[in-house]
Amino acid sequence: MNILVCLKQTFDTEERIVVENGKVKEDGVKFVINPYDEYAVEEAIRLKEQFGGEVTVVSVGPSRAEEALRTALAMGADEAILADDPALFGDEYTVAKVLAAIARQKNYDIIIAGNQAVDDGSGQVAVRLAEELGIPHISTLTKLVVEGNQVTGHRDAEGDEEIVTATLPVLVTAQQGLNDPRYPSLIGIRKASKKPLAHVTLADLGLSEEDIRPRTEIVDTFLPKPKEAGRILQGELQDQVKELVQALIQVEKVVG
């Protein structure tokens, strides 16, 4: 079974984040594998252990993402592809196009990605990729069963569980709870440095800039406003209700 895992390196959201000139400041920031993608890597390795085959991990991102790919290799993936040509960077549309071009280079039976990246939280790339490739997808999985050609996915549907079946090839995305990712072992870390890691460029993928031109633009990036102290309304209940309605219309502008 050939498995492709889409992986993004993100900053660790448990660390303090500083925004400077409309961008998250990168120096001093700790980068990790996007936690949802870590479940994807683990699931892929488990499938490989069960059925044999190869796990390829792919990332579209800057050269620092190599570290995240090496970690996935240390966990047990077999080879890695890093699309670190800046000409390949853009929005979710771009990334899905690039990933599709990479996915077409080999016959993958199953593609696993995280349900979303914790940095931008858009949750679009994987499902766009499935559309690009014209294959079915099942998202936010908490359990995955593969039997022959048949795939059964238990998906987290906003707190409910939905059971969806599909046939290979399929794309699935991982939700928290899918598995408990292993630690890279020491021997794994040693072997990882000897496993193949290919860098690909726009030209390698036979894409043109126009093919992958982003469809969206980031205008600004800012941190949520620190929470201000609330106001406690005083006086007669009737007056409080009036005051509250007023405030909702005029100050908070949530009722119009």
Partner 1 sequence: MADPALVEELRNGVRKICSRFPGSYWRDLDARRAYPEEFVDELTKAGYLAALIPEEYGGAGLGVTEASVILEEINRSGGNAGACHAQMYTMGVILRHGSEEQKRRYLPEIAAGRLRLQAFGVTEPTTGSDTTQLKTTAVRKGDRYIVNGQKVFISRTEHSDLMVLLVRTTPLSEVKKRTEGLSVLLVDLREAVGKGLTIRPIRTMMNHSTTELFFEDLEVPAENLIGEEGKGFRYILDGMNAERILIAAECIGDGRWFIDKAVRYAKERVVFGRPIGQNQGVQFPIARAHVQVEAADLMRFRAAELYDAGLPCGAEANMAKLLAADASWEAANVALQTHGGFGFAEEFDVERKFRETRLYQVAPISTNLILSYVAEHVLGLPRSY
Among the listed residues 9, 71, 94, 173, the single contact to partner 1 using CB under 8 A:
71
The reply on whether position 74 binds partner 1 by CB under 8 A is yes
The reply on whether position 123 binds partner 1 by CB under 8 A is no
The CA distance from 25 to 55, in Å, is 33
Neighbour-count burial for 6-41, b at 16+ CB within 10 Å, e otherwise:
bbbbbbeeeeeeeeeeeeeeeeeeebbbbbbbbbbb
Cβ proximity to partner 1, 190 vs 242, nearer residue: 190
| Angle, CA of 166, 160 and 119, to the nearest 5° | 80
3-state class (DSSP) for residue 51: helix
Stretch that binds partner 1, among 3-11, 19-27, 63-71, 136-144 (CB under 8 A): 63-71
Among the listed residues 25, 190, 199, 242, the single contact to partner 1 using CB under 8 A:
190
Q: Which residue has the tokens 């408990």?
A: 180
Tell me the C-alpha to C-alpha distance, in Å, between residue 245 and each of 143, 170, 234, 238, 248. Answer: 46, 50, 14, 11, 5
The reply on whether position 184 binds partner 1 by CB under 8 A is yes
Among the listed residues 3, 10, 39, 70, the single contact to partner 1 using CB under 8 A:
70
Stretch that binds partner 1, among 57-65, 111-119, 180-188, 238-246 (CB under 8 A): 180-188
Torsion of CA 151, 156, 157, 159, to 10 degrees: 150
Cβ proximity to partner 1, 67 vs 209, nearer residue: 67
Stretch that binds partner 1, among 44-52, 69-77, 130-138, 202-210 (CB under 8 A): 69-77
Letters for 198-237 (x = contact with partner 1 by CB under 8 A, - = none) are ----------------------------------------
The reply on whether position 118 binds partner 1 by CB under 8 A is no
Q: How far is the CB of 230 from partner 1 (least distance, A)?
A: 25
* 70, 32 contact by CB (below 8 A): no
* 143, 178 contact by CB (below 8 A): yes
The CA distance from 56 to 180, in Å, is 20
Among the listed residues 189, 214, 243, 247, the single contact to partner 1 using CB under 8 A:
189
Among the listed residues 13, 185, 208, 246, the single contact to partner 1 using CB under 8 A:
185
DSSP category for residue 65: G
> Can you give the binding site for partner 1, defined by CB under 8 A?
67, 70-71, 74, 183-190, 192-193
